[in-house]
Chain A
């Protein structure tokens, strides 16, 4: 069982109030991603759940039991650190076995579990090597192996892929997701990369300055962002925001349209502008349009587009694709 609930969790470091009342219900077996800009408190929240920091207020319930006064060693959770934090003086086998050793399992049992975990992660040929003899990707798998072998109530991942190169990151993303589905253990995963968040999560928690802005599935966050922040954070390139008269025509203080939902035409109805830069990626074309008083708009076109810097275009969007926000940034739903 790995059901985790946060009730009004607060955390301050001295006078600085980092986490300002977090409420969250994480279902057993789900893969939840904490995402947000630097300094939003996502790692702090993870560490509070792990027990590596003490809360300043509120409750953390694991399977219904409040663990706020329970030391990390006894919470039954596993953590994969950003730097992997492998024990340099132990072999891969030793690293993976350590937690089981602390739990007092017999030698035979430990051996069996370690071999199983190593097999799952393709680490068997490296069992007797020391961490310094391994590549980044291998070390990362050892860190994961160390976490899974203890069969914890939940996995906690602290930006585990950020030290890998791009190609390896994509590969590991798939492996981690596959592994979690296979094991069925709850996972909480912290990242600043919203692509990782969107592709891996069952549900995403978007954090900003210590507050949970929205908690929902990737598609919910994409299609129905609760406020300006979430709307601008999810989706790349960023959503286009427009204020003033343009927004007023839709009955809102601000409207937003995603670049992929802007229709590009040489003439017709819509918002006129001049292309500043056109980025041709082959698979897509991104154009950055100077739309005068409206500002700069970004539009995406699938495939090649025969337009370039200086060309005049008309950008438009279907009404259902226009997100509306009120004065305070909250989404207006029709």
Chain B
């Protein structure tokens, strides 16, 4: 019913949309602003919006703190490691389900998805105890392992949907052209699947980076990623707010950027195809 939206409608819609967007984004904006204030100004009353003494001292302090870098590195290793390993396991699995489906394939896929629906807290006890007994507590390997398993269903699912979108006659053409299965995979399938694999990688990297159950419960110091590090600031020591804001901004900035690129993947990955 909007062949050509009247300028008045566009103006009203835009205004409303920008208002809504601003309101929703505001807390993040507020935090970013706080990160540029001095500690004193950060919790001053009345709070200032734009006209304050802008400083980057908080960022400098945060960068200097070796423990921040240590935890950032942990985040990278844990999120990156778990996602890459998940991909290694998932790519062959998704390939086989997409291109060699059997009568059981659908059931297997649904079962895999259902493992993601299991509440982690339901198995907190045995996992914690096993980790304790195997010296996996507060270890990066331990976190990588569990985050990998946690995201594996989503990785497999997303790759499956991307592989299914590859027209099967192009693969058949490769076969007619004399390609063995291996060469079909290398020369035809993988190049065509690269965008899908990249999208899957992106979304799951984000999900692993933000994971805040296992990371909080299974790590304390050595292996703790940024989720834990930030959580340890939960006591209201107002003196550290500005620095906390700086640390938080650094922690979420890359993800916000990546998240912008993964919107469509988000819908695909987390609705399990129930919404097109």
Genuine A/B complex: yes
A residues touching B (Cβ–Cβ < 8 Å)? 50-52, 71-74, 77-79, 81-83, 85-89, 98-99, 102-103, 146, 150
Cα A325 to Cα B84 with chains together (Å): 70
> Hey, which chain A residues are within 8 Å of B175, CB to CB?
51-52, 71-73
> Hey, which chain B residues are within 8 Å of A52, CB to CB?
172, 175-176
Cα A50 to Cα B192 with chains together (Å): 24
| Contact A99 B177, beta carbon cutoff 8 Å | yes
- In the complex where A83-B167, A85-B167, A88-B192 touch, is A102 in contact with B183 (Cβ < 8 A)? yes
> Hey, which chain A residues are within 8 Å of B192, CB to CB?
87-89
Q: Which size bracket describes the interface of B in this complex?
A: 10 to 19
Asked if B133 is an interface residue, CB under 8 A from chain A, the answer is no
| Contact A85 B178, beta carbon cutoff 8 Å | no
Interface centre among B167, B170, B178 (most CB of A within 10 A): B178
- Can you spell out 11 A-B residue pairs with CB atoms less than 8 angstroms apart? A73-B180, A74-B178, A77-B176, A78-B177, A79-B172, A82-B169, A85-B170, A86-B170, A87-B188, A88-B192, A102-B183
User: Closest chain A residue to B178 by CB distance?
Assistant: A102
Asked if B173 is an interface residue, CB under 8 A from chain A, the answer is yes
> Hey, which chain A residues are within 8 Å of B92, CB to CB?
none
| Contact A85 B177, beta carbon cutoff 8 Å | no
User: Closest chain A residue to B103 by CB distance?
Assistant: A14
Asked if B30 is an interface residue, CB under 8 A from chain A, the answer is no
Q: How far is the CB of B116 from chain A (nearest CB, A)?
A: 32
* Binary A-proximity of B180-223 (CB < 8 A = 1, otherwise 0): 10010001100110000000000000000000000000000000
Q: Which 10 A-B pairs have the closest CB atoms?
A: A99-B177, A102-B178, A85-B173, A85-B169, A89-B191, A79-B176, A73-B178, A85-B170, A72-B175, A81-B169
Asked if B179 is an interface residue, CB under 8 A from chain A, the answer is yes
| Contact B177 A146, beta carbon cutoff 8 Å | yes
Q: How far is the CB of B169 from chain A (nearest CB, A)?
A: 4
| Contact A50 B176, beta carbon cutoff 8 Å | yes
Asked if B174 is an interface residue, CB under 8 A from chain A, the answer is yes
Could you tell me which residues of chain B, from 138 to 186, have a CB within 8 Å of some CB in chain A?
A: 167, 169-170, 172-180, 183
| Contact A85 B191, beta carbon cutoff 8 Å | no
> Hey, which chain A residues are within 8 Å of B177, CB to CB?
73, 78, 98-99, 102, 146, 150
| Contact A98 B174, beta carbon cutoff 8 Å | yes
B residues touching A (Cβ–Cβ < 8 Å)? 167, 169-170, 172-180, 183, 187-188, 191-192
User: Closest chain B residue to A146 by CB distance?
Assistant: B177
| Contact A72 B191, beta carbon cutoff 8 Å | no
Told that A79-B173, A89-B191, A150-B178 touch, could you supply 14 new A-B pairs with CB distance under 8 A? A51-B175, A52-B176, A72-B172, A73-B175, A74-B178, A77-B176, A82-B169, A87-B173, A87-B188, A88-B170, A98-B174, A99-B177, A102-B178, A102-B183
> Hey, which chain B residues are within 8 Å of A78, CB to CB?
176-177
| Contact A73 B170, beta carbon cutoff 8 Å | no
Cα A86 to Cα B173 with chains together (Å): 8
Cα A99 to Cα B173 with chains together (Å): 9
> Hey, which chain B residues are within 8 Å of A99, CB to CB?
176-178
Cα A87 to Cα B184 with chains together (Å): 11
> Hey, which chain B residues are within 8 Å of A146, CB to CB?
173, 177
- In the complex where A89-B192, A98-B187 touch, is A72 in contact with B176 (Cβ < 8 A)? yes
Cα A81 to Cα B167 with chains together (Å): 12
> Hey, which chain B residues are within 8 Å of A51, CB to CB?
175
Cα A126 to Cα B170 with chains together (Å): 20
